[in-house]
């Protein structure tokens, strides 16, 4: 499928200028770490030892978004997100190819008149996040799998991010319940004046008391228009010092595991975003960069989205390698639990209000 336009179309002349000059308003560099890290159980400073991973891509350096005049756009994105989630919960069944699931979810978002904030992400078992189907992916969803279904919807850049976990044979239902309970408990404390550290404590407590571990280096995140991660993290453990303000927009997303409680980069690398436009010479790279500028801009995309643009898997791989090597694209590897433990996720988007959080999906 062809993803929607992120900011609307530019004229051909404008697009050519953007690719050659390497300039485009709204393109942000992406960080792979956040400022709100504390110390791990061994007392090591995590700025030195590891990076917290946001569960999505599209990081920026903006402050949390205050919804203000965008209220109607958030409500529209929420309407579509609720509908698409219901659609996905109904149609996703064992025996389906992951590629078919992803394409149907992405198509449904666009068919309902919204934008795709990021690619449908279908992370299996020990893969916690950033696992989206490859071109011609043959993987099948089975009865025994623990599948995280994560997608984002936007209306005029206002993003609603959600995720749920499926395990058809219910062998790991308690793991899923741990993540879902942690989300419910977290939402009960999000309000103006609450600290992200307190939310992390509630998440950790809910998961630990059910016999599992929170994934401590995956975080929820603030969001701003066209920016999936706007610079403030909500950890799954008591860490950080940001105080919620009225109108903040956040994705809250606990991750529970029966493994070691951390993730690391895996081998699969299918998600990218443009971080630094600049002139390119290779024809395939030029064509890919123009499509990204026109369709995605600050928003992430999957490698497979370039297949109809470039016509062959070989051309896609060539362009991706070239643009990544030049620092024009940033890649987001699959995040895998360090002990290959199973991971469950529950996520919703909220607007922070004086005495509570307005839950959008």
173-227: pLDDT as tens digits: 999 999 999 999 999 999 999 999 999 999 999 999 999 999 999 999 999 999 9
pLDDT at residue number 150: 98
| Helix (H) or strand (E) segment spanning residue 115 | strand 115-124
Do 168 and 274 lie in a common domain? no
CA pair distance 121, 133, nearest whole angstrom: 8
Give the residue numbers marked as catalytic: 150, 161, 221, 229, 253, 347
Asked whether residue 38 is assigned to any structural domain, the reply reads no
Tokens matching residue 268: 């699969």
Tell me what pLDDT residue 32 has: 31
Question: Could you tell me if 108 and 241 lie in one domain?
Answer: yes
- Do 96 and 243 lie in one domain? The reply is yes
What is the per-residue pLDDT for 333? 97
Q: What is the pLDDT of residue 68?
A: 59
Q: Are residues 145 and 193 in the same domain?
A: yes
Q: Are 228 and 159 in contact (CB under 8 A)?
A: yes
Provide the domain limits for residue 307.
12-27+269-332
Asked, for residue 45, whether it belongs to a domain, the answer is no
Domain assignment present for residue 263? The answer is: yes
Q: Is residue 51 part of a domain?
A: no
Domain-embedded: residue 68: yes
pLDDT of 31 reads 32
Q: How far apart are CA 162 and CA 131, in angstroms?
A: 15
Q: Are residues 21 and 67 in the same domain?
A: no
- Take residue 24 and report the two structure tokens written for it: 């485009």
Q: In angstroms, rounded to a whole number, what is the distance separating the alpha carbons of residues 236 and 251?
A: 12
Does 173 lie in the same domain as 83? yes
State the pLDDT at residue 197. Answer: 98
**Alpha carbon distance 96, 116 (integer Å):** 22
Q: Residue 236 has which token pair?
A: 């799954």
Same domain for 249 and 126, yes or no, is: yes
203 is written with which tokens? Answer: 């998440």
* Shared-domain flag, residues 160 and 112: yes
Specify whether 75 is located in the same domain as 104: yes
221 and 259 share one domain: yes
DSSP annotation of 190 reads: -
**Is 257 a member of any domain?**
yes
Residues 301 and 173 in one domain: no
Residue 95 covered by a domain:
yes
Domains identified in the chain, total number: 2
Could you tell me the pTM of the whole model?
0.83
Note whether 169 and 125 are same-domain residues: yes
Alpha carbon separation from 355 to 193, 247, 286, 288 (Å, rounded): 9, 12, 50, 46
d(CA 64, CA 246) in angstroms, rounded, equals: 10
Buried b (16+ CB within 10 A) or exposed e, 72-109: ebbbbbbbbbebbbebbeeebeeeeebbebbebbbebb
Residues 6+ apart with CB under 8 A from 350: 187, 190, 249, 250, 252, 357, 358, 359, 360
In a domain, 40, yes or no: no
pLDDT of residue 78: 97
Residue 300: which CATH number? 1.10.10.10
CATH number of the domain where residue 224 is located: 3.90.230.10
Question: What local confidence, expressed as pLDDT, does residue 297 receive?
Answer: 87
* Predicted local distance difference test score (pLDDT) of residue 53: 57
CA atoms within 13 A on the CB side of 281: 1
Low-confidence residues of the chain, pLDDT below 70? 1-68
Which pLDDT belongs to residue 52? 55
């Amino acid at each position: 499928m062809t993803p929607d336009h992120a900011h609307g179309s530019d004229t051909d002349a404008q697009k050519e200028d953007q690719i050659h000059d390497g300039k485009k308003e709204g393109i942000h560099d992406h960080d792979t770490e956040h400022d709100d890290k504390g110390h791990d159980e061994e007392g090591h400073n995590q700025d030195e030892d590891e990076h917290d991973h946001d569960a999505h891509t599209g990081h920026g350096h903006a402050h949390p978004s205050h919804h203000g005049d965008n209220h109607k756009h958030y409500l529209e994105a929420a309407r579509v997100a609720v509908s698409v989630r219901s659609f996905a919960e109904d149609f996703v069944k064992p025996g389906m190819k992951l590629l078919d699931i992803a394409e149907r979810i992405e198509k449904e978002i666009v068919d309902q008149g919204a934008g795709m904030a990021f690619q449908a992400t279908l992370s299996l078992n020990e893969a916690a996040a950033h696992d989206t189907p490859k071109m011609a992916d043959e993987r099948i969803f089975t009865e025994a799998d623990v599948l995280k279904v994560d997608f984002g919807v936007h209306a005029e850049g206002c993003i609603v991010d959600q995720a749920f976990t499926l395990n058809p044979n219910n062998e790991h239902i308690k793991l899923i319940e741990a993540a879902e309970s942690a989300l419910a408990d977290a939402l009960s404390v999000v309000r103006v004046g609450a600290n992200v550290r307190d939310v992390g404590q509630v998440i950790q407590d809910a998961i630990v008391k059910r016999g599992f571990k929170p994934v401590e280096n995956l975080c929820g995140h603030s969001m701003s228009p066209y920016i999936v991660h706007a610079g403030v993290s909500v950890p799954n453990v008591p860490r950080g010092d940001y105080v919620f303000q009225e109108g903040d927009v956040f994705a809250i997303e606990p991750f529970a595991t029966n493994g070691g409680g951390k993730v690391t980069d895996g081998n699969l690398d299918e998600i990218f975003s443009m971080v630094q436009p600049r002139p390119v010479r290779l024809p395939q790279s030029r064509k890919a960069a123009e499509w990204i500028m026109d369709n995605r801009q600050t928003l992430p995309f999957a490698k497979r989205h370039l297949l109809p643009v470039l016509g062959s898997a070989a051309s896609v791989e060539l362009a991706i390698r070239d643009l990544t090597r030049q620092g024009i694209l940033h890649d987001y590897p699959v995040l895998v639990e360090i002990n290959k433990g199973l991971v469950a996720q529950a996520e919703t988007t909220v607007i922070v209000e004086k005495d509570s959080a307005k839950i959008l999906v």
